[in-house]
Amino acid sequence: MTSDTPHGDLRSFGRRRGRKPTSRQAALLRDVLPRVALDLSAPCGGPTARDTQVPSETWLEIGFGGGEHLLWQAERHPAVSFIGCEPFEDGVIKVLDAIEHQRLTNIRVHMGDARDVLRALPDGSLTRAFILFPDPWPKRKQAKRRLVNATTLDLLARAMRPGAILRLATDIGDYARTTLEAIEREPRFVWLAKSPTDWRVRPPDWPETRYEAKAAAAGRQRYYFSFRRL
């Protein structure tokens, strides 16, 4: 399989666009996105384009989907600077709508591949990172497209500071297994689980996402992992 990007990453996401945006949605993309878009040449320049205060902490969500988790965390942690990455336009529109109507000033958005953000971030700049239910790519031939692999963990380990926490969830047993194997091979991360409850039960400060609700409704086991950057 050939690489899909200049850095050799394989495309890890599905479609970028759903339905044609309504005029109101198009206005959000035109007017709000440029205000809150992450500047990859100065990704830690401030909490948002509107606020120049230097944040004490930066949390990154990779593949925020409809933004349920990103918005929940951003509302509860106003002093934290959030970076949300999502290539799917419809999801980005949902977050832009919430940013605008709830007047959230602590979220910056990258409508694209999170690995480009990880490469641009200064070393040790993240205190938390979230990858919740990455695209499963369940077929054997597609498994190479899974976002969680040695390269992504290397990028995360560099961008996260020692002590930072990486939260990761999946509803695919094989993805859970390959994630733990990759973590095992990456000496800069350690799995924090002490008992099965730690990976079977979602912590209270971790809201349910849309994808997760569908997985639960379909009766699929969900795996919740927390890793510490050493």
The catalytic site residues sit at 135
Residues numbered 21 to 60 that lie near ligand SAM (CB under 6 A) are none
Match 């498994």 to its residue by tokens: 143
Using CB under 6 A as the binding rule, whether residue 72 contacts ligand SAM is answered as no
Name which of 55 and 87 has its Cβ closer to ligand SAM: 87
Q: Which 147-166 residues touch ligand SAM, going by CB under 6 A?
A: 147
In the list 58, 82, 86, 156, the residue contacting ligand SAM (rule: CB under 6 A) is: 86
Q: Yes or no: say if 198 and 135 are a contact pair by the CB < 8 Å rule.
A: no
**Which is it for strands 57-62 and 80-85: parallel, antiparallel or unpaired?**
parallel
Contact between 210 and ligand SAM by CB under 6 A: the answer reads yes
Does 88 interact with ligand SAM (rule: CB under 6 A)?
Answer: yes
If the CB atoms of residues 85 and 107 are measured against ligand SAM, the closer one turns out to be: 85
| Sequence-ordered list of residues with C-beta below 8 angstroms from that of 205, at least 6 positions apart, any chain | none
DSSP string, 192-221: --SSHHHHHS--TTSPPPHHHHHHHHTT--
Residue nearer to ligand SAM on the CB measure, 53 or 142: 142
> What is the C-alpha to C-alpha distance for residues 32 and 109, in angstroms, rounded to an integer?
10
Residues lying near ligand SAM in the complex (CB under 6 A) are found at 12-13, 62-65, 85-88, 91, 113-115, 132-135, 147, 209-212
